[in-house]
Amino acid sequence: MTISSNLTPEEKKNYFNYFYDKAGSEPGSLYINSSALPSHITLIEYNKSNASSKVNVKPQDCLSCIDNDLVSWADIQGLGSENILLEIGEVFQLHPLILEDVINVPQRPKMEDYKNQLLVVLHSIKLNKNRSGFLSEQISFVLSKNYLLTFQEDEINDFVTIRERIRLNQGKVRELGTDYLMYLLLDMLIDNYFPVLENYGERIEHLEDQIIVNPSRDTLQKIYRVRRELLALRRSIWPLRNLFNTLIREENELISEEVYVYLRDCYSHTIQILDILETYRELASSSMEFLISSMSNKMNEVITLLTIISSIFIPLTFIAGVYGMNFKYMPELEWHWGYFAVLTLMFLIGIVMIFYFWRRGWFKLFLKKKP
């Protein structure tokens, strides 16, 4: 799902509220989204010497993954085919609650231990095409001794990189088991968070420049939009801290000691991401406060200027009003130089008041140099 300023109210509602069961529904109930993509399976099997890949395989073709000596990775892309997903649940004997968490999206990032299977749920975060928001897709992992299942709402192109590393036998991926494969995929998803946060840092910096040069209501709306997006991003990232902390601290026979070391690295990256995210949220909040203060100061300058103009013209208007009255007997009406004397008096009063306001420092608000 795309998180940006162009979201419809329904899309925002679907994102900002995680999935929850309907009252009275049976545990493990499945709710297939009508807009979800059809499901298809890519099966990759490998060991130290060989690797094979098959696309669009049927769930029954994955039966051999359970007991063979190969490392098997079944990548299920799309959550719109209920029959295929139920067959996958039967083949791999998935607990009904696992299928519920996988299919009913979006779920809160979490980790669940089902003895011989380990469920890990998190979100893939990427920038959208116009770089004004981000894309969020739920990725679910089911780890077992001989196989790893991944469930995607949509196909993640970055998984192609991991597939190539398996095919070309790069790194340790074909030397270790399914737990290391899951680590590689988790690490890739976490690394994708950094470019997203970097983009928000650049947007906040640009907005700060706009605040200094020309604070306006449009800038205020942009800052508010960034704050909303950072809040949505925080809801996807914050639970990862507990997720990796649980993976590291609770020993599980499906994860080897060597892979625990790598998972600790993922945990440290998650802490770093959270620190950056909280910093940007504070910057966005302080930028909004500074903008509101700048707009208030700008309004005060306008009011001050109008006050000066009004104060100068009050005595001038009084004099003009007095001599504008249609009375026959007024002392100065018959004076030959009366008109020029009144204009001179009004001019002198204006000069004196301008000088007075200047001495009081009121004009410094308008004569200071703009940054």
Domain boundaries, the chain: 1-173, 299-367
What pLDDT, on a 0 to 100 scale, did the predictor assign at position 216?
Answer: 78
- Sign, CA dihedral 172-177-181-187, equals negative
Among candidates 230, 228, 270, 233, which has minimal Cα distance to 111? 270
- Name the pTM for this structure: 0.77
pLDDT tens string 249-282? 888 889 988 999 999 999 999 999 999 999 999 9
In sequence order, the β-bridge partners of residue 138 are 123
Give yes or no for residue 13 having a pLDDT over 50. Answer: no
Q: How far apart are CA 166 and CA 176, in angstroms?
A: 11
Mean pLDDT of the chain: 83
What pLDDT, on a 0 to 100 scale, did the predictor assign at position 217?
Answer: 79
Among candidates 97, 102, 108, 141, which has minimal Cα distance to 16? 108
Q: Are 178 and 144 in contact (CB under 8 A)?
A: yes
With a CB cutoff of 8 Å and minimum separation 6, the contacts of 79 are 32, 33, 36, 37, 39, 85, 102, 103, 105, 151, 152, 153
DSSP 273-315: HHHHHHHHHHHHHHHHHHHHHHHHHHHHHHHHHHHHHHHHHHH
Classified by CATH at the fold level, domain 299-367 comes out as Methane Monooxygenase Hydroxylase; Chain G, domain 1 (1.20.58)
DSSP state of 130: T
pLDDT tens string 41-73? 999 999 998 989 999 899 998 888 888 888 999
- Of 20-24, 68-72, 297-301, the poorest mean pLDDT is in 20-24
Extract the tokens encoding 58.
């049927």
Residues in the chain: 371
The superfamily (CATH) of domain 1-173 is: CorA soluble domain-like (3.30.460.20)
Average the pLDDT over 216-221 and give the result.
Answer: 82
Q: Are 95 and 117 in contact (CB under 8 A)?
A: yes
pLDDT tens string 183-192? 999 999 999 9
Average the pLDDT over 166-186 and give the result.
Answer: 91
What pLDDT, on a 0 to 100 scale, did the predictor assign at position 2?
Answer: 44
- Of 13-27, 112-126, 166-180, 340-354, the poorest mean pLDDT is in 13-27
Average the pLDDT over 308-326 and give the result.
Answer: 80
**Using CA atoms in the order 245, 248, 249, 251, what is the torsion angle rounded to 10 degrees?**
140
- Count the alpha carbons within 13 Å of 57 in the hemisphere toward its beta carbon: 21
Q: Are 55 and 46 in contact (CB under 8 A)?
A: no
Q: Are 132 and 5 in contact (CB under 8 A)?
A: yes
Q: How far apart are CA 178 and CA 209, in angstroms?
A: 48
**Cis previous bond, 106, omega within 30:** yes
Average the pLDDT over 280-300 and give the result.
Answer: 80
